[in-house]
Copies of this chain bind each other. A is one copy, B any other.
Amino acid sequence: MAEQTTITELEEAVIKFAGDSGDGMQLTGTQFTTNAALFGNDLGTFPDFPAEIRAPIGTVAGVSGFQLHFGSKEIFTPGDICDVLVVMNSAALKSNIRNIKKGGIIIANTSGFDAKNLKLANMTSNAMEDDSLGNYQVIKMDVTRMTREALTDIQLGMKEKDRCKNMFVLGFLYWMFNREMDNTIKFLTDKFGKKPEVLEANLRVLKAGYSYGDTTETFTTRYKVEKAVMPAGTYRSIMGNQATALGLVAASKKSGLPLFLGSYPITPASDILHDLAKYKSFGVKTFQAEDEIAAITSAIGASFGGSLAVTTTSGPGMALKTEALGLATVLEIPLVIINVQRGGPSTGLPTKTEQADLFQAYYGRNGECPIPIVAAQSPSDCFNAVYEACRISVQHMIPVILLTDGYIANGAEPWRFPKESELEEIKIEFAKPMAEGEKFMPYARDEKLSRPWAIPGTKGLEHRIGGLEKQNITGNISYEPENHEFMVKLREEKVERIANYIPEQKIDSGPSKGKLLVLGWGGTYGALKAAVRELNEEGFAVAHAHLRHMRPFPKNLGEVLHNYDKVLIPEINNGQLVKIIRDKYFIDALAYNKIQGLPFFKSELMDKIREILK
């Protein structure tokens, strides 16, 4: 029996599982996440895939990681840097060493540090032997050997046995964090029910990992992270892209409009297409087009036909859609364009996140072509954001751009998902058949300035629309100078008027007047909120507001901004919202930018804010 271990209670912890793409780290991370969720922790996760499909085994390019942040307090991000880093090989250590806290725990699979692995990772010295890890608590264990030993009498090939390695680590972590393992046992049983040998092997290794902690003398500390106090309700875990897909189906259901997606695959947006393609039982039609132009124009066709029409893409694909965005604007038909932003310009950093397509969304078209913009702020919030984008689009007869990003698209968090009955109806009405002899006016307008949605198949509504300038009311082509000016201003006003149908801007955290407002948008929400909350606790008079509506802005935004001496706008780009705000509200807003394909760390935000408030 091992000497008595102490159990330390933590408010929160960040664990990162890192190994080769073939090491099953995503699965390990997800299992631990489920466990934490079921236990009642609040949490946030982020997977960190290699850019290549399957980079050579053992190389830095092939490292796959999964980061989990869980706690007994509210959690807003997957965490800046980790308390515990699991590394299955040298490359995993090399590419993650700077993501671990000083004094943090590194759990290293020593067999991943043999000469071959060191060489593949381009490491000249063995970190298991030299003193380069002096600042950390290193727990070395030969996972490979122990896994094999646990399975000596099992009838499986060596390769298959080795595939259980991740269960050893998982078992050990469960021990370390003092967890039950039921969910994983159930998962394995469901998954391998038909392959009893494999099931047995996995279970055995899982338990071996747990016992290893229990029986080995070296480990004297275990941790405990209590349940979080979270609003009562039923939760699930959700990733941003999943939430976007669900939001679309929900909007389709609650508007009564059939959902049509025209899309062309592109990282990190493809998963929305993949998910929607599964939802055939909801009548969802997904059309994988030959390119992004066909994707958006097919959606325009579907919208003309009366569908809730959507197109999904990422930066370079968005560039290809810009001509058609102009068409949709002049046609004044509903269309939801989703850009899951990634690092640019050009092909850029396809698997990394960025917020650098805001300008493109705002201004990236020929001519005066204003389009409303909505932004999602967290994985689960993608649901609300896309629902809102659909609502605006169909009720205001206008294309709407939704901006999400790679970070929230692939990140996950617990979601207290709504019931169908709780979702607000999206009321729309198609134009009604005309009485004999009456003439249909396709560009007549209501108080929102929106025009009728008159779909083929409706008697008497035959009409023609197109990209040439339209005469108001009749919708006929018009080259009249005054009409053009009128229509340009009308389209602008139509966008602006949406401000009458959206909530006012609220302060998320902090005082409603004061020294500094931190204004954010999109996927930086969690980091900004966490930073500001913590500074509030430290006594700093800083507030945080986060924009859902990027165009038009909520009506009271100017007022809100003027309530603070200074406004800081942190963005994962080189300064975009800040320029729009400076122009529009004529306030000397400060920019804080990070352009590394990575989200903000709470700590760097806190440093920056402290510096400003000094």
Residues of A at the B interface (CB closer than 8 Å) are: 51, 314-316, 318-320, 322-323, 326-327, 329-330, 341, 343-352, 354, 356-357, 359-360, 362-369, 466-469, 479, 481-482, 484-485, 488-489, 491-492, 573-574, 579-580, 582-583, 586, 588, 594-598
Cross-chain contact B346 with A329 (CB below 8 angstroms): yes
User: Considering the complex of A and B, which 8 residue pairs feature the smallest CB-CB distances, nearest first?
Assistant: A344-B367, A315-B366, A481-B596, A345-B367, A346-B467, A347-B467, A364-B364, A345-B369
Closest CB in chain B relative to A322 CB, distance in Å: 4
Q: Which of B330, B348, B583 contacts A468 (CB 8 A)?
A: B348
Nearest residue (CB) in B for A326 is B346
Q: Beyond A326-B345, A343-B484, A468-B347, is A318–B366 a contact (Cβ under 8 Å)?
A: yes
A574 to chain B: which residues have CB within 8 Å? 368, 488-489, 492
Q: Beyond A365-B319, A367-B348, is A484–B597 a contact (Cβ under 8 Å)?
A: yes
Cross-chain contact B366 with A363 (CB below 8 angstroms): no
Cross-chain contact A344 with B368 (CB below 8 angstroms): yes
A488 to chain B: which residues have CB within 8 Å? 574, 595
Q: Beyond A345-B330, A467-B347, is A366–B357 a contact (Cβ under 8 Å)?
A: yes
Closest CB in chain B relative to A535 CB, distance in Å: 25
Nearest residue (CB) in B for A575 is B368
A362 to chain B: which residues have CB within 8 Å? 359, 363
Cross-chain contact A316 with B349 (CB below 8 angstroms): no
Cross-chain contact A367 with B356 (CB below 8 angstroms): yes
Compute how far the CA of A106 lies from the CA of B157 in the bound complex, rounded to whole angstroms. Answer: 99
Compute how far the CA of A329 lies from the CA of B323 in the bound complex, rounded to whole angstroms. Answer: 20
Tell me which of A346, A349, A479, A484 has the highest count of chain B C-beta atoms within 10 A of its own C-beta: A346
14 pairs across A/B with beta carbons < 8 Å? A316-B326, A319-B323, A320-B322, A320-B323, A330-B348, A343-B367, A347-B468, A348-B469, A357-B367, A360-B364, A360-B365, A368-B574, A484-B596, A582-B582
Cross-chain contact A316 with B320 (CB below 8 angstroms): no
Compute how far the CA of A596 lies from the CA of B479 in the bound complex, rounded to whole angstroms. Answer: 9
A484 to chain B: which residues have CB within 8 Å? 343, 349, 352, 595-597
A357 to chain B: which residues have CB within 8 Å? 366-367
Compute how far the CA of A124 lies from the CA of B67 in the bound complex, rounded to whole angstroms. Answer: 78
Cross-chain contact A586 with B582 (CB below 8 angstroms): yes
Compute how far the CA of A548 lies from the CA of B96 in the bound complex, rounded to whole angstroms. Answer: 49
Q: Beyond A481-B598, A582-B583, is A329–B345 a contact (Cβ under 8 Å)?
A: yes
Tell me which of A350, A354, A366 has the highest count of chain B C-beta atoms within 10 A of its own C-beta: A366
Cross-chain contact A327 with B346 (CB below 8 angstroms): yes
Q: Which of B366, B489, B579, B594 contacts A344 (CB 8 A)?
A: B366
Closest CB in chain B relative to A585 CB, distance in Å: 10
A327 to chain B: which residues have CB within 8 Å? 346-347
A467 to chain B: which residues have CB within 8 Å? 346-348
Closest CB in chain B relative to A604 CB, distance in Å: 12
A367 to chain B: which residues have CB within 8 Å? 315, 343-346, 348, 354, 356-357
- A345-B365, A359-B364, A479-B597 given; name 6 further pairs at CB < 8 Å: A316-B366, A326-B346, A326-B348, A348-B367, A349-B479, A356-B366
Closest CB in chain B relative to A516 CB, distance in Å: 19
Closest CB in chain B relative to A524 CB, distance in Å: 16
Closest CB in chain B relative to A472 CB, distance in Å: 14
Cross-chain contact B344 with A356 (CB below 8 angstroms): no
Closest CB in chain B relative to A94 CB, distance in Å: 13
Tell me which of A345, A489, A588 has the highest count of chain B C-beta atoms within 10 A of its own C-beta: A345
Closest CB in chain B relative to A331 CB, distance in Å: 8
Closest CB in chain B relative to A596 CB, distance in Å: 3
Nearest residue (CB) in B for A357 is B366
Nearest residue (CB) in B for A50 is B479
A316 to chain B: which residues have CB within 8 Å? 323, 326, 366
Compute how far the CA of A208 lies from the CA of B347 in the bound complex, rounded to whole angstroms. Answer: 68
Closest CB in chain B relative to A544 CB, distance in Å: 23
A598 to chain B: which residues have CB within 8 Å? 481
Compute how far the CA of A482 lies from the CA of B597 in the bound complex, rounded to whole angstroms. Answer: 9
